[in-house]
Amino acid sequence: MTRYLPVAAALCLLLFLNNCKNRQQTTGQVTDSTAVVTEAEPVSPDDVVITERLADLGLTATSDWRGVNVGDAFAHVSAVEKSEPFEQDAEHRGYTIELKKLETADVLYYQTDKKVSAIDIDLFLNSRQSVTDYQKDLEPYFTARYGAPKPGGGGTSWTGRNGETVTLSDVSKGKDYGLKIRMASAGSPATASAK
């Protein structure tokens, strides 16, 4: 029996050292994956996922909203939006998008010096589930386009490489369900709906 004692001790020591080594590798892997999540960068347009809901809104992988980017010539809005505006004046133009299940979105394009300076979107939805579903599609879309989100501005915010900001907020009250999205260039003045 005593001749097996050194073999058993060596086996126990080997298992102990192996477990220590595995624990260090696991700890290192957790740190690395956390670093990747906190340092998210915008991805290429090929990596932006356009779900059915996002396609219904007219979103693309290469524009801020429906083929229009903040900073585009304001005349480009009329070329992209095919319907008649429901309101327009010297500072902005508004369009309505009809969605499935009698849901709608109002899109207001604002201008400064004949350039799109901000885009405000109000999604009018039918249920809490619809709000959740749109959030689940919009949040990864904006993260892929603009980088890691931050809480703030009454919702979730993203800041792009050029300083543009995007804010997604749940504005549901009682049985009135909705989301508000605000896109603005760096230093853009407040729009009427943001005041």
**What is the full per-residue pLDDT of the chain (195 aa) written as tens digits?**
566 656 655 544 444 545 544 444 444 444 333 333 333 455 566 668 899 999 999 999 888 999 999 999 999 999 999 899 999 999 999 999 999 999 999 999 999 999 999 999 999 999 999 999 999 999 999 999 999 999 876 899 999 888 899 999 999 999 999 999 999 987 655 554 443
Ordered DSSP codes for 10-53: HHHHHHHHHHHHHHHHHHHHHHHHHHHHHT-----GGG----HH
Query: Residue 21: its pLDDT value, please?
Result: 45
Contacts 24+ apart (CB under 8 A), 22-28: none
Query: Residue 97: its pLDDT value, please?
Result: 94
